[in-house]
Structure formats: structure tokens, C-alpha cells
């Protein structure tokens, strides 16, 4: 996983400087990461609203011998929690919401069942790491 994150960071940093051989560079990096008969992934690179690279690597299902395809749909699991937590903290930073405010200040008909539920309470359920 660390290797994948490192490669994604490299791609992000080097994207503006990529020329016509971008496809070759992406292929080299990702072919090194994904074995043809191992667990796979899909890469998509968009620059200025235009898709410049889209390719699948490895297998989608090892047991059934199903190859990964660029159109595969993935379950995102709990990955969206981190983005939601950061979005909430960005709103706090911009002064648009208050972590200590009751949720009913922002969602009037939220069913609190008589309990006080703050934005901080909601934030603490978004992941194991507290960001505040």
C-alpha cells in the first residue's frame, strides 16, 4: 500500500511535466506495481478535464480468473470517511460551522432523541484518527 501511495504521489508531482511518452511512463510504473496474475487495479489520469491515461492491471478476481477492466466498479468501503472529515474541518477553518455546535443548528429535523449531538461527535465517528 505504501508503494502505491508513493507512486500516486510521483504521478501527481510529475503530471505537469509529462510529454508525449506519458503513457509509456505510466505503463512502466504500474506494470511494476501490479503482477499480471495478481490482485489488480485501475489507473485514470485526467489533465485539464481530459483523460490522458486509463488502463487496468492484474486480476479483478483471482479465484474466478477474471481480469481487471477499466470499467470495473469498486466498493469504496470506508475510504470516504477521511474525505468527509477533512471537508468538515475545512468548513470549521472557514468559520462556516462550529465543532461544538449542536447538529440541529445545521440539520433542523435531525432525530437526536433528546440527546445533544455536536459536530465534534459526528467527526469522531468518521475514523479512528481525531483530526482536531
Q: Which residues are catalytic?
A: 78
**Residue 10 CA: distances (Å) to CA of 13, 18, 26, 45, 106:** 5, 12, 10, 12, 39
Would you tell me how many other CB atoms lie within 10 Å of the CB of residue 117? 15
Contact 16, 46 (CB under 8 A): no
Q: What angle do CA 71, 76, 78 make, to 5 degrees?
A: 175
Amino acid at each position: 500500500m505504501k508503494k502505491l501511495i508513493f507512486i500516486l504521489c510521483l504521478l501527481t508531482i510529475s503530471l505537469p511535466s509529462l510529454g508525449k511518452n506519458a503513457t509509456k511512463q505510466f505503463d512502466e510504473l504500474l506494470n511494476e506495481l501490479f503482477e499480471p496474475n495478481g490482485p489488480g487495479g485501475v489507473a485514470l489520469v485526467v489533465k485539464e478535464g481530459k483523460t490522458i491515461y486509463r488502463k487496468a492491471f492484474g486480476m479483478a478476481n483471482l479465484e474466478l480468473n477474471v481480469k481487471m477492466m477499466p470499467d470495473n466498479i469498486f466498493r469504496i468501503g470506508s475510504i470516504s470517511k477521511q474525505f468527509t472529515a477533512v471537508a468538515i474541518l475545512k468548513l470549521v477553518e472557514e468559520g462556516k460551522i462550529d465543532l461544538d455546535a449542536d447538529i440541529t443548528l445545521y440539520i433542523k429535523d435531525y432525530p437526536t432523541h433528546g440527546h445533544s449531538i455536536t459536530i465534534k461527535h459526528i467527526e469522531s465517528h468518521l475514523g479512528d484518527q481525531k483530526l482536531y
